[in-house]
Structure 1
Amino acid sequence: MSPRPYAVDDRTLVDRVVPTWNDGVPAGAATMVGGGLGRHAAVGRSRWVTPLRVLLALALCVTALSWFGKAACLQTSSTTTSAGTETRLTNDNQRQFTNLCYSDVLALYQAEKLDRGNTFPYKTFWHENSDPGAKAGEGEQVKRYMEYPVLTGLYMYGAAKLAQWWAAAHDNWGIPAPYVTVGYFDIAALGLLAFWLITIWATALTARARIWSAWIAALSPLVLVHAFTNFDAIATGFVALALLSWSRRKPWLAGVFIGFGTAVTLYPLVLLLVLLLLCWRAGTVREFTRTALGAVGAWVAVNLPIVIFYPSGWLEYFRYNSDRGADPDSVYRILSDSIGFTWNNDLLDAVSLLGAVVLAIALAVVVLRAPTRPRVAQLAFLAVAGFLLINKAWSPQHSLWLVPLAVLAIPHTRLLFAWMAIDALVWIPRMTLFLDPERRWLPEEWFTVAVVVRGLMVVALCVVVVWQIWHPEDDLVRTGAGSVASGPNGCGAGSVASGPNDYGAGSGVRFDDPAGGVLDGATDRMGKWSRRRARQVVEAWPVPVDPIAPENSLSGPSVE
């Protein structure tokens, strides 16, 4: 009996998945605030404390801590000379490594000659020794340009110009300003923060009824360590927007974001392979064609002006990646150290290319032979994880690429956090490699062990994904377990299906793919290629409507 009259408007969301009903981690954490969501709670009634706002607030807290983690490298010192007062970053005694605050964002301001003032990336060049180990005055001097793709280079240039204008305003009008290098880092970090918030926003909306699953990405230890280590948040933002656009059945817009992401770094390109394979099986190649055309158009629009006016500068990124050796984090360096083999660059490139071909074939086999068509996020995670495993460059911050994809592909909190924590801890022995021998606190073998364990964790995640592709009844995303309609534990009164995990007797798969877009609920057109069990009933993922404001539902544009 209610002590107050019932509300006239009793609308509530019935399809949202409640974390405290099917995930032990948030269920345990909820005990500190009075417990999880009750069986009779009205979901979706709050106008202000919405899931998206909570997720963005969590992401802001973690990225703020990440910035403080880099702050030790932003301290400056001043010395007075005959020429005046000179300010510089205080990196004495290898402070950036001993304090674990090293950031490429900060180092590249001078390394890419952005501190020169009136310089434009891809046009400006400098000379350096072709042999980094040669003594001064020895070896061949060669031209070098900005070594990053176009959008990344322009982003760095824009941040540098804003920092220099800020410093000029201080000199001319007395406006408070930090040391110009620190100003550059802060401006670049502010933009990276915006891209990471876009990543969380788009990932949450792509998850649809499982919107709360994005909290794993918002609180990821990898974000805490690497949000501002390099410019990877730009790429994750474009990839997340591409997946969101695809899930909203806007293939051309998804292609545009893939093209922009590829102009930041190459890994978003694997999404085209993922969508091609899935559309091939579903017989929706026309939609993929629109995506591919959008990606090519966006990439060309960004790159073509630089190609025309500064072709040598544009080619530098490809030259640099072709000439570079294996990163210490890569499987090739581990093999080299283990068996005493030195990789020739041509051989290394050939093996990497062969690995990419094998990866593409393996993905095709998974798509065409699986009894149920994989979800977009599942195959995207496998593709990006495989790309990292076979690539000769796996810098620690590259693991950020996997975070939003893993959240959408693998609905298992403990497993994800175990991998993220191990991956984030690789940063500690990684920094040890740059220290002088007398300052090292860990032997090099610790780094090798950490990288091997990280690689095994990523492989384990891939095994889980493949298992759930072949056994969709174990995939919590497909079963919809823990939704409001089904009650706590997924099998309460009013559940969608009669059996545990929302699988009734002979009911088969209840839902298909929340990020599938045109693939969601689509009938396979290439069933003869797949080794099929009994035909399963697959339905499109339900799109919940906000009971308070239908225009803010997950089926359309949202302002949250």
Structure 2
Amino acid sequence: MQESTQSKQSARRRGPVRITVPSRSDRFLAKFTEVIGGPLGRHSAPGQINPGLFTVERVLIIMTVIGSLLMLLAKNPCRVNGWGGSNPYDYFCYTDWVPLFGARGFADNPFAPFAAGADFEYPVLMSAVASVVSALVPQVETGRSLIFFDMNLLLVSVLWLITVLCTMKMCGRRPWDAAFVAIAPGIILTGSINWDMWAVALLAGGMLAFARGHSIGAGVLIGLGTAMKIYPFFILGAILVLALRTGRWSVFVKTAGFAAGTWALVNLPYALAFPSSFAYFFSFSSERGAGLSSFWHVWNIGAKYELVPFLAPETISRLGIGLFFLCCVGVAVLALAAPERPRVASLAFLIIASFVMVNKVYSPQFIVWLIPLFALALPRWKEFTAWMLVEVAHFYGLWAYLGSFGDDKDIHKTFPELGYVLLVFAHMIMLGFLMYRVVRTVLDPLQDPVRIVGQDDPQAGGFAGADDKFTLSALRGKAPRKEQVG
């Protein structure tokens, strides 16, 4: 405790910390700076001098606003021509918001998910968000579904900005890493498909609270995120294994306890008032078949041609849960065998990416879950650019594939099923490669772009400075010599 206090006092005496800029620390990005004079010079001191009007935060805000406008532009063909027929597939502008507004009863009753016998297939907090937004839609004769879409898109833009700023504040000496989130093509194209950005922003806020040592606040935000979408819950696995390694169990107990308590406070009233409606989300999730772009969907495409046996939904659920459990065990072993305490973001990325890979559903918008975690776990522009190119190709290929099922389509002019299958494998292989790269940074900290600039773990929170209490010593190698670059 005394050493920690002394280090804080020393930091205050040093003043502003010199930050790392992408053009100087990322060789791939530096190649593209020649037209503006090349990378930032060695004698400059970003973070220690006044940048004037264009601070990092303001530039990131501008980038996110531009990204939001591009997101609106991507959906504009459907805003102009409507979401009827094959328009969402032909114009690549599909969204769940418009069809759900009519099909799930929001047009007649804004709080339809909370009525007896409701069949809204989303978690409670997401149902509440959808209901509140639909209640704000004015009672006009036409265009209500378009207003519903525009209101949701505006909220998603705000949530995107919150996520960017939270990511920036978690990056320590590398605030520009939040630019991965601000200009991500994956968010531009898929952020307005569903309400996933609510969970993304809540998790980002929870991770920021955790990074600053506020375990209770982190637990509350993670609990709210889990009530919106299940995936924020999985970050508790990363906190659990770090608690096991460091012996700081109070950090995990507080965070997990308040996350569970918050989730229960949100869900229990609804579960008690409408038990059948509450249970519908869970029954729907277990009984639904393989989702588009998942490995299981491609498997069952093969079954259609009698290449492999068909897998029923319940079989896929069991296999998915089993494989995810094995992945989590693998991440735990990695974390306990690593030569240095792994970073929170690295473990969180591996766990959530594993869930996406083996889950029965791999919706296009799931990429927005991973982009902020990638910015924290593996902030490298070369890998990010390749990933986004693959995901953009998959995005357009998916809608072209779905559009080929229209009755008025010429089968000789439609997107081939084989092309769709290859794109699904491509985006899964690319994600697997990113997971491999993150594993390499855990096993060899000298390959970690965050640690080589002189940081330990900006998101460590209560684990910062902790000594190892339990590791798999037999599997550990010799810790590499630390080096720092400016």
SS of the equivalent of 1:208 reads coil
Give the Cα–Cα distance (whole angstroms) in 2 for the partners of residues 193 and 530 of structure 1.
48
Q: Is the 8 A contact 1:122 1:312 kept in 2?
A: no
Give the Cα–Cα distance (whole angstroms) in 2 for the partners of residues 411 and 62 of structure 1.
19
1:36 corresponds to which residue?
A: 39
1:21 corresponds to which residue?
A: 24
How many equivalent pairs are there?
Answer: 462
Q: 1:344 to 1:534 in 2, by over 3 A?
A: closer
TM-score (norm 2): 0.90
Q: Residues 230-273 of structure 1, C-alpha deviation per residue, up to 9 Å, x if partnerless?
A: 11111110111111111101111111111011011111111111
**Pick from 434, 440, 448: which aligns with 1:475?**
448
Amino acid paired to 1:113: G
The correspondence of residues 38-57 of structure 1 with structure 2, limited to 5 A, is: 38-44=41-47, 45-57=50-62
1:69 corresponds to which residue?
A: 74
**Pick from 212, 215, 224: which aligns with 1:248?**
212
Give the Cα–Cα distance (whole angstroms) in 2 for the partners of residues 429 and 118 of structure 1.
34
Q: Residues 373-395 of structure 1, C-alpha deviation per residue, up to 9 Å, x if partnerless?
A: 21111111100110011100001
- Does residue 426 of structure 2 align to residue 453 of structure 1? yes
Give the Cα–Cα distance (whole angstroms) in 1 for the partners of residues 476 and 242 of structure 2.
16
1:81 corresponds to which residue?
A: none
Q: Is the 8 A contact 2:57 2:165 kept in 1?
A: yes
1:309 corresponds to which residue?
A: 273
SS of the equivalent of 1:36 reads coil
- Does residue 93 of structure 2 align to residue 101 of structure 1? yes
2:399 corresponds to which residue?
A: 431
Q: 1:280 to 1:224 in 2, by over 3 A?
A: same
Give the Cα–Cα distance (whole angstroms) in 2 for the partners of residues 18 and 328 of structure 1.
39
Q: 1:515 to 1:407 in 2, by over 3 A?
A: same
**Pick from 129, 134, 154: which aligns with 1:155?**
129
- Does residue 272 of structure 2 align to residue 340 of structure 1? no
Instruction: Report the CA distance between 1:538 and its aligned residue.
Output: 7.9
Instruction: Report the CA distance between 1:424 and its aligned residue.
Output: 2.4
Give the Cα–Cα distance (whole angstroms) in 1 for the partners of residues 105 and 152 of structure 2.
16
SS of the equivalent of 1:294 reads helix
Q: 1:117 to 1:410 in 2, by over 3 A?
A: same
- Does residue 464 of structure 2 align to residue 520 of structure 1? yes
**Pick from 514, 531, 535: which aligns with 2:475?**
531
Amino acid paired to 2:68: T
- Does residue 116 of structure 2 align to residue 145 of structure 1? no
Give the Cα–Cα distance (whole angstroms) in 2 for the partners of residues 119 and 291 of structure 1.
32
Q: Is the 8 A contact 1:27 1:35 kept in 2?
A: yes
Q: 1:434 to 1:248 in 2, by over 3 A?
A: same
2:386 corresponds to which residue?
A: 418
Larger mean CA deviation between 241-250 and 40-49 belongs to 40-49
2:105 corresponds to which residue?
A: 113
Give the Cα–Cα distance (whole angstroms) in 2 for the partners of residues 157 and 345 of structure 1.
30
Q: Please list every run of 5 or more consecutive structure 1 residues that lacks an aligned counterpart in the other structure.
A: 1-10, 77-88, 126-143, 172-177, 481-509, 542-560
Give the Cα–Cα distance (whole angstroms) in 1 for the partners of residues 226 and 192 of structure 2.
20
Instruction: Report the CA distance between 1:344 and its aligned residue.
Output: 1.8
Q: Residues 292-325 of structure 1, C-alpha deviation per residue, up to 9 Å, x if partnerless?
A: 1110121112112211211111111111101101
SS of the equivalent of 1:263 reads helix
Larger mean CA deviation between 259-268 and 436-445 belongs to 436-445
Give the Cα–Cα distance (whole angstroms) in 2 for the partners of residues 209 and 530 of structure 1.
34
TM-score (norm 1): 0.78
Bigger helix share: 2
Q: Is the 8 A contact 1:411 1:476 kept in 2?
A: yes
The structure that has the greater radius of gyration is: 1
1:496 corresponds to which residue?
A: none
1:397 corresponds to which residue?
A: 365
Amino acid paired to 1:442: F
Q: Please list every run of 5 or more consecutive structure 2 residues that lacks an aligned counterpart in the other structure.
A: 1-13
1:465 corresponds to which residue?
A: 438
The correspondence of residues 249-328 of structure 1 with structure 2, limited to 5 A, is: 249-328=213-292
Q: Is the 8 A contact 2:291 2:360 kept in 1?
A: yes
- Does residue 181 of structure 2 align to residue 217 of structure 1? yes
Give the Cα–Cα distance (whole angstroms) in 1 for the partners of residues 171 and 177 of structure 2.
7
Give the Cα–Cα distance (whole angstroms) in 2 for the partners of residues 453 and 519 of structure 1.
37
SS of the equivalent of 2:77 reads helix
Identical aligned pairs, as a percentage? 30
Q: Is the 8 A contact 1:13 1:42 kept in 2?
A: no
